[in-house]
């Protein structure tokens, strides 16, 4: 699980163009932004993502409750970074839930978090070099991409214990 902020201002990245035809990317001066929470089911590749106005422990705990409702009978191993909002209300929820275990990533290791790679794929597909003129449409398309795209990860093959 992880969180990110999406800004209306287009982020620029590499793009192919014919020689001599420099692409023009319109950049809106608005600093509108929206947070997203996302969790990747490492077994199925299903992403569960939703928007949030802020990133804090209360909102994080609410997102975790959504995950618990989606997977009521499955044990969940939640992989988290050490963001400050993963404590407080989140710790209370974890302690009162019997089918939720948490493992924290080492400090400053975002590459280990599979969700970071999902954010990167969504940004590449939707928000880098975008030409949206309406922020709500960008948000809708970003959220749709996250929730409707089956993602592949090799996290389980790389890090899960081997079967005897």
pLDDT in tens, 110-123: 888 999 999 999 99
Q: Say if CB 137 and CB 126 are below 8 A apart.
A: no
Question: Domain holding 140: CATH number?
Answer: 3.30.420.10
Measure the CA–CA gap between 32 and 142, rounded to whole angstroms: 15
What's the structural domain count of the chain? 1
Q: What is the pLDDT of residue 115?
A: 95
Task: Calculate the average pLDDT of the chain.
Answer: 87
Query: Is 147 part of any domain?
Result: yes
Query: Is 159 part of any domain?
Result: no
The residue among 49, 45, 64 whose CA lies nearest residue 6 is 49
The structure's pTM equals 0.83
For residue range 31-73, list pLDDT tens digits in order: 789 999 999 999 899 999 999 999 999 999 999 999 999 999 8
Query: Is 161 part of any domain?
Result: no
Query: Is 68 part of any domain?
Result: yes
Query: Is 103 part of any domain?
Result: yes
Q: Which domain holds residue 83?
A: 2-16+26-151
CB count in 10 Å sphere of residue 129:
16
Query: Is 158 part of any domain?
Result: no
For residue range 119-162, list pLDDT tens digits in order: 999 999 998 877 788 899 999 999 999 999 999 887 777 776 66
């Amino acid at each position: 699980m992880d969180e990110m902020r999406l800004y209306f201002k287009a982020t620029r990245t590499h793009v192919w163009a014919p020689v001599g035809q420099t692409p023009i990317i319109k950049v809106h001066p608005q600093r509108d932004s929206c947070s997203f929470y996302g969790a990747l089911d490492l077994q199925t590749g299903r992403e569960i993502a939703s928007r949030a106005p802020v990133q804090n422990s209360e909102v994080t705990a609410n997102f975790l409750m959504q995950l618990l409702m989606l997977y009521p009978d499955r044990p969940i191993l939640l992989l988290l970074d050490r963001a400050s909002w993963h404590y407080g209300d989140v710790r209370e929820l974890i302690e009162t839930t019997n089918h939720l275990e948490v493992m924290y990533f080492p400090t400053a290791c975002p590459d280990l978090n599979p969700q970071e790679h999902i954010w990167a794929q969504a940004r590449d597909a939707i928000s880098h070099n975008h030409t949206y003129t309406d922020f709500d449409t960008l948000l809708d398309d970003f959220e749709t991409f996250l929730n409707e795209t089956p993602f592949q990860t090799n996290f389980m093959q790389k890090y899960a214990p081997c079967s005897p």
